[in-house]
Amino acid sequence: MNIHPGNCTSTDGKQVCPYKEKCYRRNPIHFTEMSHPHLEKLVMDQLDGTITVPPRLDFECSDRSTLLDQLKILQMVLRKERDRNDEIGTGQTSIEDKRNSIRNIPQFTNSIPQDLKDKIDRNKKIAVERREAKLREMDKRAISLSKPSTSDSSDLTMATDSKSLIKDDVSNETWSKLADRIKKQKLESRNEMTSTLGLKRNSEHFDQDSESSKRFKNHQAIENRSNKVGGQAGGASTSNGNSQLGDQEPDLMTAYAGSTTSALRNEMRLKVIEKIRSSGIKMSIVEPGEFALKYALSAPYHLFFTRVEDCKETHDQQFSLTFPEILDRSLGEIVSSLQINFMLDAGWLCAQYLLAGQSSDMLILYGEREDQEKLPPNIKTIHIKMPTFGCHHSKLMVFKYRNNGIRVVVSTANLYSDDWENRTQGVWISPHLPRLPDSANTSDGESPTGFKKDFERYLQKYNLPDLTEWVQAIRKADFSDVKVFFVASVPGNHKDAEHNAWGHRKLSTILSQHVTLPPNAPEWPIIAQCSSIGSLGPNYESWLSKEIIPAMCREKNQGLKSHPRFQFIYPSINNYKNSFDMRKGACCLPYGLTTHQKQQWLESYLYQWKASNTRRDRAIPHIKTYTRISPDQTEIPWFVLTSANLSKAAWGHKRGNHYIMSYEAGIIFVPKLVTGNTVFNIKRETPDGTPRFPIPYDVPLTRYEAQDKPFVMEFFKGYE
């Protein structure tokens, strides 16, 4: 690493960290922007191996654990730079050059010489040219691979499935016109397009009713069933979808499912990408192998928001991601997956694995199914039967990797295209969780937050034999690097040992044990934000101030404190009119007018959806979050990301004991466990180098104006 005399700038444009050997930052972004010669000297010979700290150091170090974390982050950054430079070719400072020059750091200068600026400009031009050439070569290869031979032409023939591929442009049509228009479009496209993503579909399965109408009705009738009260014992029915397509040759997706090596999967992937491009289907394709660095840079929170397809500003954000990135091979080779969700489009889900080049061996637990695809034998689906008015609403993923490790993902998005295109969703991705030694006890490898025990208990509540291997995988994994709490809901009237294990009582227990607020805690309002609202009762005191607010007020130093203000972010009709969903005739806000008319008192607590800071103003929020915020709008003491909307069915209420009707899953970020501080700063990086905590909406919040009304489904029938 060459340093110019007279200023703190290295030859590759990085400024030398002014704290030098005293830098204790663990913010990955800091290491991409600043040079640390004393650390780079240790990492240069360990770029591809396991990082170790030598017994003797030539600088003072009082915390070797922090040093090891810094070296791991720097290893990822430098390895990425090396690989990029190897791809670009000559003209870049090589890692070997850095290794040879880092030992002698000269004095500093005040400016970068002109010849270096010229060199940088030349290298940028070379990089662009080489990248364009590489893309052209990839296109040629994809085209050659996509040309069918006599033996594989049937692989490239697929039935029509325009449900998730063609969207209509809708302005301000009424509900009935919208349904008729989409119905007509689907019938026409059925005869014109060949799906490049789904499996072969039998014509008798095609629903002559509007799929869009069906989707709205599903959301309103199913996701909002939490507005009602009732319940019976639930169960599960299985449908492994293992039936084959008669004597026909397997379609492309079935052929992909049978690809046992990464090389074969990559070849099939290129064929499909070429068909996507040639058919004119609009779909963003992210090249695999790039996500590991983005994941490292998201430390210590590992919290992401889904990319908004129609807002290009979100495409390059460090905290934006697409579904195939979750599956990215840079995180490991997936051998099997567990998907737990509410709404499922199995064809779309399979396509995500194909685009990522990963094995599609999968067990899927779902509540409602959007498609009727006949699935290949390596995919098994189980429909979770609910009590009368409950909802299987959790959104979880677990991946097993070739190296025997696993990873857990908690999200707010359903498994179909609309939820991953132009909506605001949240996704938390766990660290890689390695397998424990065979000699380890089942209680070993626990997270400081008890995540492992709580997650295992959640899976066992399904009482499904198919989950046995996944429960075993959890038991054998080392969760010690997980720094968030798991908070879930399962149907039942919970008492005794289970009384505080679920819903808002679990949240209350965690906050009372781990959260510390200042004496002015009553001045820290509670902010709730979600995409649907249950029946909350005739007034604020019926349930919110009686159960939810007390639960979210809990802290270690409880004392006698008054309740804080309650602020509720829910999209208004104007929010929806200006959204991408409105333009495409879609909706994810299943709140009904009948329910709202019984609780109009709620309007005095409502705030608009505003998200200009994250460039998601027009991306309707399907994300669900809960937190508190300091009076100066800069700090929060905890943060919840969850599938649970604001409803009794999701969080529970006092009915005998603690009565819950739905399955839900989420996580709780508590500063003490994540950063060692008592609060998260949401505005800026802290002096110790901790990055700001990413929240999806703007603060301060924006109240509803007098003419504003919350969005209700009857909007599509002309109500405003």
Q: SS3 letters for 17-60?
A: CCCHHHCCCCCHHHHHHEECHHHHHHHHHHCCCCCCCCCCCCCC
Amino acid letter, 664: E
For 259-298, b/e burial (b = at least 16 CB within 10 A) is: beebeebebbbbbbbbbbbeeeeebeebebeebbbbbbbb
Q: Is 514 a catalytic residue?
A: no
Q: Cis omega (within 30 of 0) on the bond before 518?
A: no
Amino acid letter, 332: G
Place of tokens 């599609």: 360
For 70-84, b/e burial (b = at least 16 CB within 10 A) is: bbbbbbbbbbbbbee
Helix 211-218 vs helix 175-190: angle between axes, to the nearest 10 degrees?
130
Task: Give the active site residue among 38, 302, 393, 596.
Answer: 393
- The DSSP element (H or E) to which 364 belongs, if any, is strand 362-366
Task: Give the active site residue among 4, 219, 302, 622.
Answer: 622
Amino acid letter, 207: D
Q: How far is CA 688 from CA 24, 289, 580, in A?
A: 7, 32, 39
d(CA 163, CA 165): 6
Amino acid letter, 211: E
Region class of 447: left (phi > 0), else alpha (psi between -120 and 50), else beta = beta
d(CA 571, CA 621): 8
d(CA 671, CA 514): 9
DSSP E strands, 423-539:
423-424, 426-429, 485-489, 492-494, 526-529
Q: Which candidate, 165, 373, 398, places its Cα nearest to that of 254?
A: 373
Contact present, 675 and 683 (Cβ < 8 Å): no
Amino acid letter, 626: Y
Q: Is 36 a catalytic residue?
A: no
Amino acid letter, 624: K
d(CA 604, CA 589): 20
Q: SS3 letters for 328-348?
A: CHHHCCEEEEEEECCEECHHH
d(CA 670, CA 675): 9
d(CA 652, CA 414): 22
Q: SS3 letters for 194-249?
A: CCCCCCCCCHHHCCCCCHHHHHHHHHHHHHCHHHCCCCCCCEEEEECCCCCCCCCC
395 annotated to bind ligand:
yes
Pairing of strands 639-642, 625-628: antiparallel
d(CA 181, CA 185): 6
Q: SS3 letters for 508-553?
A: HHHHHHHCCCCCCHHHCCEEEECCCECCCCCCCCCCHHHHHHHHHC
- Tell me the Cα Rg of the chain: 27
Tokens describing residue 376: 């290949």
Catalytic positions:
393, 622
Binding residue positions for substrate: 395, 624
